[in-house]
Structure 1
């Protein structure tokens, strides 16, 4: 296999349907980790990528611009009412929860903080589970706290697939460790291996 090929990844039991979305959560250390993950996804990636990165709400964010320099995929702040399109990265704006509904319709919420954070990975993952069921992939990267640990349980309960960055090699192990501690993670991987596994799951077998 060369560097441009995705590996043949065995799909966890119950996830035979074609995947339709990848949701990613990160906090401390997340900009670097997200850049590495997104940078390894190819042009024409066949599903949308929804991102929650905890940001300081007191400052205007340039996260879409920063991440856009790391990847060939278009990156934008999510807007309420738009449809999540394949091959595009949608980032939750500061201080807004990002949710997805039927047919990939995005919405933003100012509802209460969850585990002291907004946007919340838990809320994104729970909405992804409801909208996509077994066609969802949830991925938890570096970060402090435990945001995402309830949401990955929701994704798994609907037949989706859960990936966590290996806490031992993550810059901050809190979030991935909490995800692993939920007992529902399918793949625990070093950061540099996550994109290849995501591609192996998402891309058609006859590529």
Structure 2
């Protein structure tokens, strides 16, 4: 851990107990000078303001939430660094986890980004190098020319009988879904090569009865059609109005569902960044926000309460089976994912390997990477950006754990403060 040029004056706000003891020890190890140590429920605004603290470390738990509301005029003062930690996690953190947290606390207090243990300084450079090598080795796809269709044959002497649009099974392979990009695919295949492959592999199928006339390609005029005797019009009397209705869109938005969303990824040091991001969104922001922040203690209900206090948009806990509603923010607990459905995005029960990024429609979605996000997920995030999604990360200055943000920057994404990121989201969907 780098040596600190000077200690930082810190106010420690926590109830008496193991959590406060552990946090005081962590502050001492991280180069913080405790100028005030108090239970928030017993502290007044004047005492906190007069302590001369440059930073405040708060051990969060339900018993002090109302007291923090009273202290908000001081906690929201410009230039004051406020760091939150879960009291139950602080009380149980020891060994390697405690040392890791101390390194992050030191980085936060002193404004640097060195959070690696001694002897591991080159690990991030290695990860960035691996990312660049993977991108360089990605196969380059050359567009293939589209085959020129043969000229239409001359019309037969007698016109063919009227076409009968009866429902038939499509040929094998027709209508199969294109496989999604893998994490190491950083460029979509050229449109021309896809069109050539489809034209060469799939013969023109019979038109199913659910198609409408608007979907049909115009028929080229016959080469030697007689001008004196025009051909008879096709007989459409056997078609019903139901068969002429247009096909449903791929991602309909019905009821209260939303087709796209803003996915916020965070981890250690993330609650403060998420708090600032949500607090900067306007009340009328329609794009739903999904917050995925891993908590060791699983106290996601407390996280919802903390964010709801500062967020102009309503904040709730994501529940499997519910539709993702526009104009709301959701905290995703462990085991809850998201997938597209007939009514828009829907929350689902999900295993540990579920990746919500893959479920987002790129052009209608965004991913914001904040402090402590998992570096292993950045390949999927960058892949979304190549398909039209908005991707950005937290600026390194003031970022508690910037490892994922650095990988995102190496992949070409922009970094900004949480407040500036909120402004970019508003500008994108103004």
TM value normalised by structure 2: 0.37
The reply to whether residue 21 of structure 1 matches residue 256 of structure 2 is no
Unpaired segments of 5 or more residues in structure 2?
Answer: 1-258
Q: What's the Cα RMSD here?
A: 2.1
Q: Which residue is equivalent to 2:388? A: 159
**Does the 8 Å contact 1:20/1:136 carry over to 2?**
yes
Q: Which residue is equivalent to 1:197? A: 424
1:71 Cα deviation (Å)? 0.7
Q: 1:171 is matched with which residue: 400, 404, 419?
A: 400
Written as runs of structure 1 = structure 2, the 5 A alignment for 1:112-123 is 112=352, 123=355
> Which one has a bigger Cα radius of gyration?
2
Q: For 1:55, what is the secondary structure of its paired residue? A: coil
Unpaired segments of 5 or more residues in structure 1?
Answer: 1-18, 115-119
| Separation of aligned partners in 1, 2:298 and 2:318 | 18
Q: Which residue is equivalent to 2:319? A: 79
Relative distance call for 1:58 and 1:166 in structure 2 (3 A) is closer
1:44 Cα deviation (Å)? 1.9
**Does the 8 Å contact 2:287/2:327 carry over to 1?**
yes
Relative distance call for 1:87 and 1:60 in structure 2 (3 A) is closer
1:174 Cα deviation (Å)? 1.6
CA distances 1:145-192 after superposition (whole Å, capped 9, x unpaired): 4153022123113211101111243122122122223x142x211223
**Does the 8 Å contact 1:100/1:107 carry over to 2?**
yes
Q: Which residue is equivalent to 1:150? A: 379
Written as runs of structure 1 = structure 2, the 5 A alignment for 1:1-207 is 20-57=260-297, 59=299, 61-93=301-333, 95-102=334-341, 103-109=344-350, 111-112=351-352, 123-128=355-360, 132-143=361-372, 145-181=374-410, 183-185=411-413, 187-203=414-430
Q: For 2:287, what is the secondary structure of its paired residue? A: coil
Structure 1, 140-149 or 159-168: larger mean CA deviation: 140-149
Q: For 1:33, what is the secondary structure of its paired residue? A: helix
| Separation of aligned partners in 2, 1:195 and 1:149 | 20
1:144 Cα deviation (Å)? 5.8
1:97 Cα deviation (Å)? 4.2
Q: How many residues align?
A: 170
**Does the 8 Å contact 1:50/1:90 carry over to 2?**
yes
**Does the 8 Å contact 1:124/1:151 carry over to 2?**
no
TM value normalised by structure 1: 0.74
1:88 Cα deviation (Å)? 0.5
Q: For 1:104, what is the secondary structure of its paired residue? A: strand
Q: Which runs of 4+ in 1 moved over 6 A?
A: none
Q: For 2:338, what is the secondary structure of its paired residue? A: strand
Relative distance call for 1:58 and 1:202 in structure 2 (3 A) is closer
